[in-house]
Amino acid sequence: MNLAYSLATGGAAAGRPLPGSLAVQPRLSRWLRIGEQGTVTLTPGKVELGQGILTALAQIAAEELDVALERIRLRAAATPDSPDEGVTSGSLSVQECGMALRQACAEARAIFLSVIAQKSGVPLEAIRVEDGDFLGPEGRLGSYWELAGQDLLEAEATGQAAPKPPAAHRVVGRPVPRLDLMDKLTGAPRFLHDLRLPGMLHARVIRPPARRARLLGLREGALPPGVQVVRDGSFLAVLAESETGADAAAARLASRAEWQAEDSLPDMAALSDWLAGAPAEESTVTLREAELPPAAHRVSTQFFRPFLAHASIGPSCAVALWTEAALEVWTHSQGVYNLRADLALALRLLPERITVRHVEGAGCYGHNGADDVALDAALAARTSPGRPVRLRWSRAQELAWSPHSPATLVRVEASLDGEGRLRHWRSEIIGNGHSSRPGRAASPTLLAAQYLEEPFPHPVAVNAPMKAGGGAQRNAEPGYAIPALHITLRRLTEMPLRSSALRGLGALVNVWANESVMDELAEHLGEDPLAFRLRHLEDPRTAAVLREVAGMCGWPRLGEAEGIGHGLAAARYKGSGAWCAVAAEVEAAEVVRVRRLWIAADVGQVINPDGALNQIEGGAIQATSIALKEAVAFDRRTVTSDAWERYPVLRFSEVPQVEARLLSRPEEPPLGAGECSMGPTIAAIAAAIHAALGVRPRALPFTPENLAAAMEL
């Protein structure tokens, strides 16, 4: 086997640095397995959240191995068998997992080829692979499947094997129907919510009436037969044989619970003032100094975004099985290893005693309640060892108790010199951090952990460093040529509402703030906003997507009807990801309606064009919903927007017409597509509102009330 591997890789010398997650987990058998029945099983650490990543990974593997896509099988991430790839987030799955699998499959192909060459005596360069068969000048020499039992993949990747050049791709780069979609369209039991195990019990949690509350006791009263009460401190739940029984018992028990509750939330009507004055940890994000000419024009303004909910269509769910020896959890978490770490802390178990298995759930696009409900289910299952327990949150719990995307205040001051060029830019970002994900702190961040009899302190949300994409400071630095730049961050050290990641993180407000100020500066000069941007761009790929979207929408839009406006915006996501430009057409009447969106994106090499476009369009539609409608409402004790009537989202009838286009870059590294369109969409809608109404939106969402307030500034 060692000789074969040496033949495949050119000897023992190290090759190129291993890409993505393969660098820290180089064992090939951790990533793929060849089956004797003619299949290839991939075992990635990233998970399917509705973004279509499993299809893209299958295409990458089929391409590098030269097998039909139909032969690829994907096994859901689970501890401890899958590679630990952290969290599926940040539009990084293709970059981290996809590139790891590409290299792993290239090395696997090289190993098998070398063995065939050694056995047959046919030179490596004379052997080709067709759908898993190895063919030489005289005919068939063997196949992957015939060598499957030889443990050839029990080897470390070295980087010696080179993946195919893009010009040779036949599977990567073409649209492929999503592998997971047919089950979902036909109602097959694919989701975690559909999972039913023998002897399963059903559980429901009773939440307190306030964020700061303590359960004093339960008044006497009968519960339905067979119902079990679960209590650990102020964590309260019920177990029943059926879902309807659990619902009825939870309602009855909630009416008997006595709580000591306190005010702990700020005044929602003065939330921006609270953000400005709350205790904070200050840091410098970017500082660039330069000798500056006098300022000829200056803009100073601020932008506000409220707390946002994930608003998943399907409430969070988990199944747990507790035995004397171990705990097993089925979850739709974004990170099975991270969740296992926090479960171990909260339950005071060794991580090795916990198995966490991913099962697909409702799309989340960020840190929603999937991890929290797993601890809820485990606590309930602990009281009934040997019987699996399925715990599902209610709609009200999902909207009110999941982590929320933090409210943020952004202050911007920018100036032009006498020649109309950007001179100085200063931004201050104020708000809570964007990460309370499990597995990253000494104390568990799972919701129930702070309500136990022996409670854990809940860590205040943090922000990732800029080299990892940032959090609140994501995309705070404008992508334009600016001699002097000063960006600061005030991360609040109090967290009234638990905050964490939601699709796009700080880019949603920072791109909007930056692009709005660019529009305002262009207006002062009487210059077209597109021309003003292009004049300050040094990045040709940003300029390319801007020019592309301008051509798509026919910019500049002249002679617009009353109440109709157009705007455009662009950004490179995280300053290191995909490039995206968006143009928007709005109609402003009693409310603002987005009629059309045009999108041009550069995501490097495209693995699945249909999947990439779906992600880009989906991000733009979600951003439209955030721009026009979404805001978490709360009183001094708890979240009150706990139903669709109180947390409205964009309806199907309100979805704009979307035209999206990908710029072809097959020779460039692939980049994630899921989040790049969100910030530019919000910014383009804001610019279009100004074109239609003459007012610059300063607060999300762009409701009649917030636009009226902006007119008074």
Residue 105 included in any domain = yes
- The per-residue pLDDT for 6 is 33
pLDDT for res 555: 97
Q: Residue 706: is its pLDDT beyond 80?
A: yes
Please choose, from the candidates 665, 676, 713, 679, the residue with its C-alpha nearest in 3D space to the C-alpha of residue 166: 665
Q: Are residues 296 and 373 in the same domain?
A: no
Looking at the fold, whether 408 and 397 belong to one and the same domain comes out as: no
How many Cβ atoms sit within 10 Å of the Cβ of residue 163? 20
Q: Number of folded domains in the chain?
A: 3
- Asked if 662 and 686 sit in the same domain, the reply is yes
CATH number of the domain enclosing 118: 3.30.365.10
Residue ranges with strand state E in 289-396: 297-305, 317-322, 327-331, 354-358, 389-392
DSSP string, 179-235: TTHHHHHHT-S-SGGG---TT-EEEEEE--SSSEEEEEEE------TT-EEEEETTE
pLDDT at 4: 32
287 and 215 together in one domain: no
Query: Which pLDDT belongs to residue 364?
Result: 81
Specify the pLDDT at position 482: 98
Phi then psi for residue 310, to 5 deg, are -70, -35
Average pLDDT, the chain: 95
Q: Which of 170, 201, 227 is the last residue of a domain?
A: 170
In angstroms, the Cα distances linking 651 to 369, 593, 622 are 23, 12, 11
Indicate if 590 and 644 belong to the same structural domain.
yes
**C-alpha distances in Å from residue 305, one per residue of 43, 49, 630, 699:** 39, 26, 10, 6
CA–CA gap between residue 499 and residue 36 (Å, rounded): 48
pLDDT at 467 over 50: yes
**Residue 267 belongs to some domain of the structure:** no
Residues 496 and 633 in one domain: yes
pLDDT at 7 over 80: no
13 has pLDDT over 70? no
- Has residue 460 been placed in a domain? no
Pair 426, 491 in one domain: yes
For residues 39 and 116, membership in a common domain is answered with yes
CA–CA separation, 175 and 290 (whole Å): 48
pTM: 0.95
User: And the tokens for 473?
Assistant: 């400071």
In a domain, 349, yes or no: yes
Rounded to 5 degrees, what angle do the CA atoms 666, 668, 671 make? 100
Q: Average pLDDT, stretch 680-699?
A: 97
Q: Does residue 42 contact residue 100 with C-beta atoms inside 8 Å?
A: no
The 10s digit of each residue's pLDDT in 603-638 is 999 999 999 999 999 999 999 999 999 999 999 999
Domain that holds residue 166: 2-170
Instruction: Mark whether 249 and 153 lie in a shared domain.
Output: no
What mean pLDDT do residues 522-530 have? 98
Q: How high is the pLDDT of residue 434? A: 98
What one-character-per-residue DSSP string does 533-578 give?
HHHT---HHHHHHHHHHHHHHTSS--SPPTTEEEEEEEEEGGGTS-
Residues 678, 565 share a domain: yes
* Per-residue model confidence (pLDDT) at position 11: 36
Domain check: are 373 and 510 in the same one?
no
The whole-number pLDDT of residue 560 equals 80
- Residue-wise pLDDT for 82-124, tens only, equals 999 999 998 889 999 999 999 999 999 999 999 999 999 999 9
Q: Tell me the CA distances in angstroms from 466 to 37, 286, 375, 472, 672, one per residue in order.
A: 46, 10, 31, 10, 17
674 exposed, middle or buried (CB, 10 Å; 0-12, 13-18, 19+)? buried
Residues 294 and 317 in one domain: no
Q: Is residue 456 part of a domain?
A: no
Model pLDDT, residue 224? 86
Q: Which of 107, 135, 170 is the last residue of a domain?
A: 170
Tell me whether strands 657-662 and 592-602 are parallel, antiparallel or unpaired. Answer: parallel
Decide if 550 is inside a domain: yes
Contact, 461 vs 433, CB < 8 A? Answer: yes
Q: What is the mean pLDDT of residues 180-207?
A: 94
Q: How far is CA 345 from the centre of its chain?
A: 25
For residue 541, is it within any domain? yes
Domain end position, chosen among 352, 378, 401: 401
pLDDT(480) > 90: yes
Q: Does residue 18 form part of some domain? A: yes
